[in-house]
Amino acid sequence: MQIRKNTSVGRSPSTAAMFLVLMVMAAMGQSASLAGESDELEARSLEGRLLMDCPSAVRDYNPHRRVLQVIDGVVHRWAEYDLADGISMCVILERPDFQILSADEASELMARSSTWEVYLPDPEYWEILPPDAPELDLPPPAIESGELPGREVSPSADEPDTEYFPAESSYRGLAAPRPKYDLSTEIEQYKPRAEGGPQVVIGDEDDRVRRSLVQVQSHPWNTIGFLSQQYPTMNRYRCTAFLVGPHLALTNGHCVYNDERDDEGGTVRAAELSPGQFSAGQGEDVIRPYGTHPVYRVRLNTGWTSDEWAWHFDYAGLNLSRPFTEITTFMPLVFEDSGAQTMNTSGYPRLVHEETNEEEDPSMAQWYNTSDSTSIGGTSDRLLYHDADSSGGQSGSPLWRFISPDRRVIAVHCCGSDSSEINWGPRLVSQNQSLIENWLDWTPPGTPTLADDFGEVDLPNAGRGFMVRDNVGATRQVSEPNHCGNDDAGRSMWWTWTPPVSRPVTFTAISSDMDLILAAYRGSDLRFLNLQGCDDSAGGNNTVTFTPNFQVQHAVVVDGAEGAEGSFALEWHIEPPENDDFADALNIPGTAGARAGDNWGATSEIGESLHCGNFTDTSVWWTFPPRVDPGRLRIDTEGSNFDLLIAVYTGDAVDERTLVACDDSAGSSNEVEFATRSDERYYVAVAGVSHDQGHISLNYQWTETSIEILHDRFEVDAP
């Protein structure tokens, strides 16, 4: 998804005359403590009026706060100044083209900052895990604690460190092959470490309460997620991360980089994020309403990677190649916040007094602090100290100040001292603003640009995708058809698409700004298009499903009804192959031959995600039925056209697999060979590395042997 920059700050005072100055009459509530959950849910309107003059602080362009927020997929930036009356503030907005916003536009932006559209995920697609699933029972990463950080750092801007890709992907263009997967690591990779973080509860009671299943599907709790990560040593840990944009989550540096610990070996090799994860209690299933997405790219800063336990720099970015499509608005990030006295936080602690004190029976839910005295114990140039209850696993949780009805992130929780009864985390400040904005601007490789005219832009070559765009300023072309018979639209956006397979595909367009028209055509000439499907129903949620012709150009168009303009999301997915699931594995007949297939639109099942130690979500299955006699089976993927892996298992269900053989060498040609028993059925999984998809050639040769050979087997305790 490409994020369009609507507003920005940081211009020199000479451009201040081009800004709109808006006074927002809002009770700041800086001296009031949070009074429990009811205050968090309180809503209040904001009113504004245009000022002809502004205090000298504004003219000097030295704001109290700089705010960054993604609203409906669009990034907005503005600056705020607290006025002397204690109840008002000035807000300065700028557009890239320096067009002055009207007071109504600015007021609408401020109101949208604290409101959001809720797109509830379909329960049919919830990811549900048993409470004893190995990918859940993870300790937090062990960190040094007990001493409060006391030194300050340079005021210069933070610098980016080397970018890390935890999951190998063809986007990187790496030529070096990955080593053959070592079966001896199959057991070690799921063995959790014993150590965990301290339980820092301030006072006599633990004030954290569990977020309900309904709450974790609403803002802002749905932006806060359970982060699992795996290091090159195969040790696995848990932290918290929170989404700040469709392709970016923030967490702690120590959650993804532990180079100073010899037993970890540097940056994580794999990580997954599950926003809004919920569990009703001990022994209950874990529900992930939005599913789980792998981290594509880890972003670090040199302050953290070059100085062991430099808490001032203990923050990191996680880029996601696929967004969570139902989450489009995120909490504002506030840089250089001054004057805040109260705050709150929510995250995924492993130990909670109300839940358990037993190391072997951890919490899997999101917990939120409800104390009426949660306060900021002080700030330094780069750190914020607070007294919210915490424990290991909450590392990476957002720390926000609450100005009804806004929650505004001002720091990232990282650490706590049990003996000193204080917690802390790195603040969002001017030194890290540019770096975080750069991380936020990242879009996945292959993301298309905006396209007004037919034939200008192609959709990415993927089995499924998602993007947020707008049709502001879009026009109607000569010879363009009247979509769904509407002749009063004319704000159309076009994408061409050449389907890699001939299976049903579904396109969905969603907008909270306007009614939409969605249409799909076949053809390469605008004058002679063949309509495949059209939906102009009101409500801003339109869907078209059709079966395309293989390797024939098609086109998809989104238009605003009656000439409406605004933002919209476009999502598409190809129907998965018939052997998408373990239970639907296709038979491999005979003793030798080749089977053709593909994994376009393929998905991963609950309990499946790891193959060869890799997180994958595009797997398909074949099965080699039992033979009367023992033998040896050789399988390769020579002739396939994408970076893939192959894994062979025995077992009766996807979550009861036993690994027999595996090869995740880089490239499209992988090979396994193993002994087969006369009474055993074998299941073969072929999956794209990272999200890769393409056409599969599965070649096999089975040879009978006179001696029954018992092959080594390794239990796969995780999915």
Q: What is the pLDDT of residue 264?
A: 57
CB distance 165 to 615 below 8 Å: no
Percent of the chain with pLDDT over 90: 32
Q: Residue 467 CB: number of other CB atoms within 10 A? A: 23
Q: What is the pLDDT of residue 308?
A: 55
The residue with greater pLDDT, 474 or 544, is 544
Q: pLDDT, tens digit, for every residue of 588-636?
A: 999 999 999 999 999 888 778 688 877 778 899 999 999 888 999 999 9
Average pLDDT over residues 5-16: 29
Q: pLDDT, tens digit, for every residue of 527-584?
A: 899 999 999 999 889 999 999 999 999 999 999 999 898 888 888 999 999 999 999 9
CB distance 684 to 698 below 8 Å: yes
Using the predicted structure, report yes or no on whether residue 637 has a pLDDT greater than 80: yes
Average pLDDT over residues 238-254: 94
Using the predicted structure, report yes or no on whether residue 188 has a pLDDT greater than 70: no
Using the predicted structure, report yes or no on whether residue 221 has a pLDDT greater than 80: yes
Amino acid symbol at 415: C
Q: What is the pLDDT of residue 39?
A: 36
0.85 surpassed by pTM = no
Helices (H) and strands (E) in the chain, counts: 6, 47
> What's the pLDDT band for 698 if we cut at 50, 70, 90?
very high
Q: pLDDT, tens digit, for every residue of 499-528?
A: 999 999 999 999 877 899 999 999 998 889
Topology of the domain comprising 582-715: Jelly Rolls (2.60.120)
| Domain limits, the chain | 13-113, 464-574, 582-715
- CA 232 to CA 269: how far, in whole Å? 6
The residue with greater pLDDT, 173 or 160, is 160
> What's the pLDDT band for 451 if we cut at 50, 70, 90?
low
Using the predicted structure, report yes or no on whether residue 12 has a pLDDT greater than 60: no
Using the predicted structure, report yes or no on whether residue 104 has a pLDDT greater than 80: no
Q: What is the pLDDT of residue 522?
A: 96
> What's the pLDDT band for 274 if we cut at 50, 70, 90?
very high
Using the predicted structure, report yes or no on whether residue 28 has a pLDDT greater than 50: no
Where does 195-320 show beta strands of DSSP type E? Answer: 208-210, 224-230, 236-245, 248-251, 257-258, 266-267, 270-275, 278-279, 286-288, 293-294, 297-299, 316-319
Domain 464-574 has CATH 3.20.20.70: no
Cis peptide before 13 (omega within 30 of 0): no
Q: How far is CA 577 from the centre of its chain?
A: 25
> What's the pLDDT band for 700 if we cut at 50, 70, 90?
very high
Structure tokens that stand for 491 in this block = 């704000």
Q: What is the pLDDT of residue 504?
A: 96
- CA 94 to CA 21: how far, in whole Å? 10
- CA 514 to CA 535: how far, in whole Å? 14
Using the predicted structure, report yes or no on whether residue 405 has a pLDDT greater than 70: no
> What's the pLDDT band for 716 if we cut at 50, 70, 90?
very low
Q: What is the pLDDT of residue 163?
A: 60
Structure tokens that stand for 657 in this block = 């697999």
The string of DSSP codes covering 575-610 is PPPTT-SGGGPEE--SSEEEEEEE-TT----TTT-E
The residue with greater pLDDT, 661 or 3, is 661
Which residue, 34, 13, 315, 299, is CA-closest to 165? Answer: 299
> What's the pLDDT band for 109 if we cut at 50, 70, 90?
low
CB distance 539 to 439 below 8 Å: no
Q: pLDDT, tens digit, for every residue of 112-133?
A: 777 666 667 778 778 887 877 7
The residue with greater pLDDT, 649 or 64, is 649
Cite the DSSP H helix spans in 96-171.
Answer: 103-113
Contacts of 590 (CB under 8 A, 6+ apart): none
Average pLDDT over residues 673-701: 91
The residue with greater pLDDT, 342 or 228, is 228
The residue with greater pLDDT, 256 or 186, is 256
Average pLDDT over residues 96-107: 48
User: Do the two domains 464-574 and 582-715 of this chain adopt the same fold?
Assistant: yes
- CA 666 to CA 664: how far, in whole Å? 6
Average pLDDT over residues 706-712: 54
Where does 291-353 show beta strands of DSSP type E? Answer: 293-294, 297-299, 316-319, 333-335, 344-347
Using the predicted structure, report yes or no on whether residue 189 has a pLDDT greater than 60: no
Average pLDDT over residues 57-78: 71
- CA 536 to CA 127: how far, in whole Å? 32
Q: What is the pLDDT of residue 141?
A: 74
Q: What is the pLDDT of residue 175?
A: 25
The residue with greater pLDDT, 62 or 243, is 243
> What's the pLDDT band for 164 if we cut at 50, 70, 90?
low
Contacts of 133 (CB under 8 A, 6+ apart): 286, 607, 718, 719
> What's the pLDDT band for 240 if we cut at 50, 70, 90?
very high
CB-based burial of residue 456 (10 Å sphere; 0-12 exposed, 13-18 middle, 19+ buried)? middle
Least confident of 173-187, 294-308, 381-395: 173-187
Q: pLDDT, tens digit, for every residue of 336-394?
A: 886 667 788 999 998 887 555 444 457 889 999 876 556 676 667 788 888 888 888 99
Tell me the pLDDT of the chain averaged across its residues.
75
